Amino acid sequence: MFAVGHYPDFHPDSAIKRAEEHATKNGVKCTFLVADVLGDLENVTETFDFAYDWELLHHIFLEQRQQYVANVHRLLNPKGKYLSLCFNESDPAFGGAGKYRRTPLGTVLYFSSLGELRALFEPCFTILELRTVEIHSKSASHLASYCFMERREVNGP
Ligand SMILES: C[S@@+](CC[C@H](N)C(=O)[O-])C[C@H]1O[C@@H](n2cnc3c(N)ncnc32)[C@H](O)[C@@H]1O
């Protein structure tokens, strides 16, 4: 499995340490690394059956998204599955309107529509499920776009 994002509110090194401790405690063999998902990811030499992106995509703006999707596509095996979840534009959070919204932490997030995600993913993936879901957390609930896909072969340029 290739999963992106890390424990929020931690420096990447301490997030990795925590993740390693958690995996060891639960007897799960994992490899963790810190990388920019928009980079060339040259340290990732394996390919995977499943990629999982939990609330990372809304940090990536439109002009960078194709690079991100190309990276995920490259890291998946043929017919590999990809689950992506990100903020949906119908969510009332952080001002309640607009595609770009500033959070109290000072970060700016992009709120997608389902149509935008379909257009983004469809060139590289067969969409198996695409819908708005409600995510419940300790502090509040929010609306997210849930997209479950299967990698398909893409003809070169
Ligand atoms: C909202 S958090 C979600 C983290 C985790 N998946 C979770 O649910 O707790 C989004 C994460 O994406 C990371 N992130 C944003 N842009 C990134 C990039 N270009 N490469 C790698 N990570 C990135 C942020 O540092 C942050 O940890």
Mutate to test the pocket of ligand 1, among 56, 69, 109 (most ligand atoms within 8 A of CB): 56
Q: What spacing in Å lies between the alpha carbon of 111 and ligand 1's midpoint?
A: 15
What's the per-residue H, E or C state across the chain?
Answer: CEEECCCCCCCHHHHHHHHHHHHHHCCCCCCCCCCCCCCCCCCCCCCEEEEEEECCHHHCCHHHHHHHHHHHHHHEEEEEEEEEEEEECCCCCCCCCCCEEECCCCCEEECECHHHHHHHHCCCEEEEEEEEEEEECCCCEEEEEEEEEEECCCCCC
pLDDT digits (tens, 9 = 90+) for 85-139: 999 999 998 888 899 999 998 999 999 999 999 999 999 999 999 999 999 988 8
In a domain, 156, yes or no: no
The residue whose C-alpha atom lies closest to atom 24 belonging to ligand 1 is: 5
- How many structural domains does the chain have? 1
In a domain, 157, yes or no: no
Structure pTM?
0.89
In a domain, 83, yes or no: yes
Q: What spacing in Å lies between the alpha carbon of 110 and ligand 1's midpoint?
A: 13
Six token digits for residue 129? 């499920």
The residue whose C-alpha atom lies closest to atom 16 belonging to ligand 1 is: 59
How far is the CA of 85 from the CAs of 18, 42, 131, in angstroms?
A: 23, 25, 10
* Domain that includes residue 93, residue range: 2-151
pLDDT score recorded for residue 96:
83
Q: Which residues line ligand 1 (CB under 6 A)?
A: 5-6, 8, 36-38, 54-56, 59
* Token pair 């998902």: residue: 37
Is the pLDDT at 5 greater than 60, yes or no?
no
Of 93 and 70, the structure prediction assigns the larger pLDDT to 70
CATH number at residue 22: 3.40.50.150
In a domain, 102, yes or no: yes
